[in-house]
Structure 1
Amino acid sequence: MSKHNRKKNKDLTKRIAEERILRLFCLADFYQKTRPTHSQRYIALARLISMRYNVRFLREQKRKVCKHCYSHLVVGENCRVRLKNGMILTTCFECGKMSRIPYHSRKSLAKFEKN
């Protein structure tokens, strides 16, 4: 097999893996209220696929998964989101851990652009 075919094959497998991960996240969202155990399993499968084929989660997908216990986060059901001191604080009710994601307000971005 030539290098070109290997690269083409690798790109194809990564694209298929991304599609499967997206599909699993959609299923996890769909079954979160009725079957939370199925939802957790879909997230675990998506994580395994991403590790096997070296595909990263999208930003929205990363924020739907607890970084500590890998549970599927749904605001109001099993997590709490607060805005505090320039951070998005997400508290998981499953493990009790908190994740912090920085954000910038429009005022601070305007100051940054002036300098």
Structure 2
Amino acid sequence: MKRLMELAEKVFSEDQELAQRYVELARAIGAKANVRFPKWLRRRICRHCGAYLWPGVSCRVRLRINRSPHVTVTCLKCKRQMRYYYKVRKEG
């Protein structure tokens, strides 16, 4: 799975369809073997449509700082938003 995701990252700028196919294969292998993706790989795939997310090309990334600070990732294929919450470190 990790190797397929690395290949998808290398190929994405040249052939987005091939990169998407690598992601689909990685997800199928993970489902068949009942293995979870690591967090850093899960955040590279849209939860809703399964598209490979490349910031600035296939997704938009925004930081929201309010009561609960989070990173908002918007998939440009299906227009869905995913939120990843984080804790703010206090200096001092």
Q: 1:72 aligns with which of 52, 71, 74?
A: 52
- Structure 1's consecutive aligned runs of 4 or more residues displaced over 2 angstroms after TM superposition are none
Match of 2:8 in 1: 28
1:40 maps to 2:23:
no
* Structure 1: 5+ residue stretches without partners: 1-20, 111-115
Q: Matched residue pairs, number?
A: 88
How far residue 78 of structure 1 moved from its aligned partner, in angstroms, is 0.9
Structure with higher RCO (Cα < 8 A, 6+ apart) = 2
Q: Normalising to structure 1: TM-score of the pair? A: 0.74
**1:106 is paired with a residue of what secondary structure?**
coil
In the TM superposition, residue 91 of structure 1 has moved relative to its aligned partner by 0.3
Find the counterpart in structure 2 of residue 81 from structure 1.
61
Instruction: Report sequence identity in percent.
Output: 39
Structure of larger gyration radius? 1
CA RMSD of aligned residues (A): 1.0
Task: Give the gaps of 5 or more residues in structure 2.
Answer: none
> Taking structure 2 as the reference length, what is the TM-score of the superposition?
0.92
